[in-house]
Structure 1
């Protein structure tokens, strides 16, 4: 590490408040300047472009321990792109405190006003003849300024350049978070969780919310925790300390009402389940609150943040079992809210505020408004909705009208898809976040769910970084601007090809959405057997789009390869995941094409079998070989699923523990075995032809009939 620690300014730190109020002349700014920065700064104007062939000197002035960490992190990031960080370099990036002499001088020279809203997390960047000066009032502001400075360095090695600029920047929302499902299959390695935190922080995300149903180890209740698939108490404590360095607060969610199937499935907890082997705690059972208290006592000890997340969403079984009489008598909303109040009262000794999902209570706005004020002050409602809408008022107003603090929770739309549907994601994040801001919501919690158990975290960065952009940005963030900045900011791709590849995959999703209305490039389409009755129901709906679908997917593969060929791209694992997503989309199209081809060719062969013409017999042999031979169409099924199985396993292990992987590989193996069996069955039909010059009906082999238009 090469950065200098200059002597701290020893003047009165309180002077900053007077500087904050001083009206300094401001440079004219180019709002949301066209530099590839994420999140885009509130005010920015580019200046000179400095070559960094000789490296850059990272200077830390008024250096606290936290600022030293920021300088070290900036140095580490520059080292990753082979930019030397040396004190002998002519170019510099200086980190300054706003209440230091050097910081005040930089602000004055840049004619920048340090306004009160910048105090907590804001920063300024001021250029000079040989570099830039990053100014922050707090360690968080200095860190965020340093991360923006990192993005101002483009290129690689001796070709790197520093885009100097004048910047004044601060966030629109206090809480900018990512909610990560750790309970439905993928469980990240501990090292990958640290990488997530580093990456979040680099884009000014300050809340990480891991979601637990049964995957946090509880010493008091160890039964439901799956071996190899949990976060241990020691790891939880270490992660909290690690995240704090990056100004990220960990706000865990432990489900405390619904979504507890993995626990309630254990006979030990059977009496607490609303319905047998169900998902929802029975409010009438005293053991329900006792279980929650035990878990939350441990949770609070491991995660010291002032906020904890109760969950309490989708309690769909409530009133259908043990609580039926109470719900029939009092109504679902009252029973739900009464138990939520009881839970919060039981956890009051923890001295925390509690988040809860807003989907149930929003349906009872009058009851929400009538809740006791002390309860409302302890709660933060997280309104969630994952589709685009013109108005999100139905999700937000029940809480703002009741005087309850609220966050908005858009979604990355990764669940049960071979690649996230960013056509839904981007406008959902944009509008929900902007309307949440306008309504006074204090946070955004961008959500990842792993419903299918096979989604890869590395698929999600496009949506997560746009979430960071929208929560930092005041008002409605620009989707086109984000799409233009993403490839450069995240991957270091100046060619625009990664941005184009993302657009191709969005176009592929849109094609399928147009055909299915309620579906897109889903796991259902990837795994469905095209020879099955279900597959043949889907085939006519998708047939007209197969050509364009495959072209979009294949263009994405080509663009990724071309971008990589230029060398030195960052986040290669994310590109591997993107390439895999494109290949899975391509196989959706290919398998339905192959099914039609096989059906048409076999039907033609079957119709010709009684012909005595030698050419007809040659044609039959050729059709059969085209279906099943060294390069046959049946082998195409086998080869593609086999390749994707290997690519999937590799991508999984780059971020996840082996836990749960077998469930997903088994689907590939089952599918492969299906096609191996069909290859063998078809080979028997070929041998029958060789022996008897007859063919079995297509239905005997399992081959569907040819498309109607081909008959």
Structure 2
């Protein structure tokens, strides 16, 4: 660990002594949109220009380096129409792109030494150097992972230029700040990725130097011993895991299992044959007072662990709210909640099925009971987690650092419950948590995504996930503005800032309104439950919020025309903008319907043949109510298609039913108004506004 602390100083001295005189250091506002941003970078000299005839050489001859080259060649062919070829060659560096390792190509080694880019003893195994000038491009690294990461940076450097491609003259020496840079995806709350989409996640994450992908699970890993716990349509087989591991290995991504072993086991404990293992009947946590709890956990882990080749497994153990409220009440009373919790953690950590593994667990106990941390078992690693945009995260990390206890930090790229992630909050959370993790010597970062409401789309979350990848690779406090300026090119290979600006515009809605939740998307303003929310939205600047959403949608559409990479993720952004707009459009339409109902009751048309207020109120294909129905149908179809792209069919019916309930509500509102018409025809009087569905107040002037 010590050489990691000294490495920036060594690099600083290296560049100060050996930097070419004509090369100017890149400033904060430099023009290279790179994510992650390299540890050391200098510009200067003439760019390298090349075409389809330019050779790409792999000096090591290793299959892994040829694979790294293929990620470059695929992009050059697909984005720029350059069908280039790769070959093995241990000599020559002029007018070519060379991927090498120290000692494999003497000419490359000499050119790098002359440029001040030696790979010295103790160089980080994931680090790389990159030299580009008029003579050619050289990427060199001590390992296959380093070569791969150097190529990913090179991919971002390439530009089309006058029918050719060019790479700007640059010198890069780059190493990661954190050894472990992982992304977690929640596979247990509804959206379970298809195997093909999980591969896509791995592939994209690797481009930004993420080296671990963790699958959060509660009951989805296939069990032969306890098959009753597995859901039909949502079970992950051993064969699927093996295929994903093999695929990810080529991209230098480790697949890390995560299985809850304490809380969050409601799916298991609601099976009658396992209910007795719970803290209470119908509980969501295993009871440490039940010896059978450890037999079950040992059985299940004994099936899961051998399927993965990772040295790590995450055993969960968070949010044990029911502990001490049932069978363990006496044990907690005799000692403490923390003592019983840690006793369970020690029992699980000692299971023979976990022998030789490094065990991660959710480490909120540091903030709650730092005085108890000496009771932790030796073979566990704490994962400090929090998803709020705090100025610092010392209280979550420092208790572990003070005891030299290994720790990961776990910020949140996004979490369930919001129509679109609040990236103003998420990016501050990620930046500050990872910064403080580095300050206290954290082993790594486990960036999280959560699907608590069971309907999130991961393709909405790349802006946060890629930023987390950058923060874990970069040292110190990462620059959000630099990331924003680089994102469109680094992720979409698109000029300008259409995507970043659209994402920020949608985040601005949260900043002005507070969290825009799924409940706001699904609620009916004509129901008793939705009336209070409708009043809040009516008295907010709903029309201005709509303009922000529609501008974001327009930006995404225009950006899609220019994007060359990852275009398949853009529809999820467009859907989010459309859905956020719907929240406010729904409020505006309900407000207008209220006014139209009053106009109808007053008979503002004075007996005209067609009552225009009534026409605009409920006419099937021209009215406000018809618009609500049609927008709901559109959102359901849009969401369904995106779901099918990312996920297994499992759970979609639950999400679809929420849209169906809205559609039914619009029909019921039509019936309420029709009932009022019938009463008026019979008695010449109207129903009270509340009975006609208008329980909310008239809107304040906007």
Name the TM-score, length of structure 1 as normaliser.
0.90
Q: Which residue of 1 aligns with 2:541?
A: 545
For 1:125 and 1:276, locate their aligned partners in 2 and report how far apart those are by CA, in whole Å: 61
For 1:157 and 1:232, locate their aligned partners in 2 and report how far apart those are by CA, in whole Å: 50
For 1:271 and 1:96, locate their aligned partners in 2 and report how far apart those are by CA, in whole Å: 60
Secondary structure at 1:413 match in 2? strand
Contact 2:128-2:140 at 8 Å conserved across structures: yes
Cα shift at 1:558: 0.8
Query: Which ranges of structure 2 fall in alignment gaps of 5 or more residues?
Result: 1-9, 88-93
Q: Which residue of 2 aligns with 1:314?
A: 319
For 1:328 and 1:632, locate their aligned partners in 2 and report how far apart those are by CA, in whole Å: 63
Deviates more, 1:161-170 or 1:330-339: 161-170
Cα shift at 1:130: 4.3
For 2:447 and 2:243, locate their aligned partners in 1 and report how far apart those are by CA, in whole Å: 24
Q: 1:204 aligns with which of 202, 209, 229?
A: 209
For 1:163 and 1:619, locate their aligned partners in 2 and report how far apart those are by CA, in whole Å: 72
Contact 2:531-2:696 at 8 Å conserved across structures: no
Cα shift at 1:688: 6.2
After superposition, the Cα gap between the structure-2 partners of 1:432 and 1:117, relative to the gap in structure 1 and judged at 3 Å, is farther
Deviations 1:382-426 (A, max 9, x none): 000000112211111221122210010001233111111111100
For 2:504 and 2:408, locate their aligned partners in 1 and report how far apart those are by CA, in whole Å: 29
Contact 2:535-2:696 at 8 Å conserved across structures: no
Q: Which residue of 1 aligns with 2:100?
A: 96
Contact 1:511-1:545 at 8 Å conserved across structures: no
Cα shift at 1:22: 12
Q: Which residue of 1 aligns with 2:642?
A: 651
Q: Which residue of 1 aligns with 2:65?
A: 67
Secondary structure at 2:215 match in 1? strand
Deviates more, 1:573-582 or 1:237-246: 237-246
Contact 1:118-1:169 at 8 Å conserved across structures: no
Describe how 1:387-398 pairs up with structure 2 within 5 A. Answer: 387-398=388-399
For 1:84 and 1:503, locate their aligned partners in 2 and report how far apart those are by CA, in whole Å: 35
- Count of residues in Structure 1 that have an aligned counterpart in Structure 2: 676
Contact 2:36-2:208 at 8 Å conserved across structures: yes
Secondary structure at 2:66 match in 1? helix
After superposition, the Cα gap between the structure-2 partners of 1:268 and 1:411, relative to the gap in structure 1 and judged at 3 Å, is same
For 1:217 and 1:354, locate their aligned partners in 2 and report how far apart those are by CA, in whole Å: 21
After superposition, the Cα gap between the structure-2 partners of 1:619 and 1:162, relative to the gap in structure 1 and judged at 3 Å, is farther
Deviations 1:524-582 (A, max 9, x none): 111111122332212333322201210110000111112223x4532223210000000
Q: Which residue of 1 aligns with 2:566?
A: 571
Deviates more, 1:79-88 or 1:361-370: 79-88
Is residue 2:252 matched to residue 1:247? yes
Secondary structure at 1:268 match in 2? coil
Deviations 1:146-203 (A, max 9, x none): 1111111235994654334211101000011101110000010101111111111110
Cα shift at 1:30: 2.3
For 1:88 and 1:334, locate their aligned partners in 2 and report how far apart those are by CA, in whole Å: 60
Q: Which residue of 1 aligns with 2:19?
A: 26
For 1:21 and 1:436, locate their aligned partners in 2 and report how far apart those are by CA, in whole Å: 23
Q: 1:293 aligns with which of 295, 298, 308?
A: 298
Q: Which residue of 2 aligns with 1:703?
A: 694
Secondary structure at 2:193 match in 1? coil
Describe how 1:166-181 pairs up with structure 2 within 5 A. Answer: 166-181=171-186
Contact 1:21-1:115 at 8 Å conserved across structures: no
Is residue 2:136 matched to residue 1:131? yes
For 1:568 and 1:708, locate their aligned partners in 2 and report how far apart those are by CA, in whole Å: 42
Describe how 1:374-393 pairs up with structure 2 within 5 A. Answer: 375-376=377-378, 378-393=379-394
Q: 2:601 aligns with which of 575, 598, 606?
A: 606
Q: 2:616 aligns with which of 623, 626, 634?
A: 626
Secondary structure at 1:654 match in 2? helix
Cα shift at 1:467: 0.1
For 1:34 and 1:276, locate their aligned partners in 2 and report how far apart those are by CA, in whole Å: 61
Q: Which residue of 2 aligns with 1:494?
A: 495
Query: Which ranges of structure 1 fall in alignment gaps of 5 or more residues?
Result: 1-18, 514-519, 610-614
Cα shift at 1:694: 5.2
Q: Which residue of 2 aligns with 1:36?
A: 33
CA RMSD of aligned residues (A): 2.5
